[in-house]
Amino acid sequence: MTEVENELKNICAKYNLPQRHTDFQIEHFIIGKEASFYGRVWQCLRELQQRYETLQAIERDLLDMNDNIELEELELQKKKIKIKNNVLPANTDFSEIKARKNEIMLQKQARKIEYMQKDLEKTNHRKSDVLSECKKFIEVFNNLINEKSFVDINEPQAQLEFWNAKFGSELNLHAMLNHPMNAELVKSVLALPNESTIKGQLINAFDNLGKKLKLQSN
């Protein structure tokens, strides 16, 4: 192993960087970026469902990997027994070649098992990272539903609140950045029910703009 390879190995062993979202990212970006209460609840539930499916897949992989490692270890034992029982004639070139071939075969089998064990270790680390994310998502989810009861995603009033907040946030962002209004966004807002507050505000804004342009043309 070269000096660089050795240093790389030591750094990776000493400093751990989990392959997961941080609690900060989960709280402020994945969930926090949602503009409404129900948007945060539903997004949190989506994230939990996705990770539950991921954990189920990881568990299946772990079962297969453990079985495969055991099979390879049994194969290694079988090869050792076979070599031990296959006594070669002494002091022949053939016996030296055969012995070396047997040695290489056992080395390869042992390496194969070692690599499989390393893959198993990585998969266990992946499981640990997913569980850490789940712990944070569960915490956020429980805090949210303690604040207000969970409602089905098809509940009309919750949907109206969700889209009012979502489209309102996007319209405010366009205004803050002084960007022209997106036509598809405007069409979506106008497609909301008449009781939508953001739809009413947009229509009033268009009416006021029309009156202003009419006064300027007179």
The three-state DSSP-derived secondary structure of the chain is: CCHHHHHHHHHHHHCCCCCCCCHHHHHHHHCCCCCCHHHHHHHHHHHHHHHHHHHHHHHHHHHHHHHHHHHHHHHHHHHHHHHHHCCCCCCCHHHHHHHHHHHHHHHHHHHHHHHHHHHHHHHHHHHHHHHHHHHHHHHHHHHHHHHCCCCCCCCHHHHHHHHHHHHHHHHHHHHHCCCCCCHHHHHHHHCCCCCCHHHHHHHHHHHHHHHHHHHHHC
Give the pLDDT confidence score for residue 92 in this predicted structure: 61
pTM recorded for the entire structure: 0.86
Instruction: Round to whole Å and give the CA distance between 191 and 200.
Output: 11
Give the pLDDT confidence score for residue 99 in this predicted structure: 85
Give the pLDDT confidence score for residue 90 in this predicted structure: 60
List C-alpha distances in Å: 145 to 27, 36, 41, 148, 159: 15, 13, 8, 5, 17
The string of pLDDT tens digits covering residues 7-18 is: 998 998 889 888
Residues of the chain with pLDDT below 70 are: 87-93, 218
Give the pLDDT confidence score for residue 212 in this predicted structure: 77
Give the pLDDT confidence score for residue 89 in this predicted structure: 60
Give the pLDDT confidence score for residue 51 in this predicted structure: 98
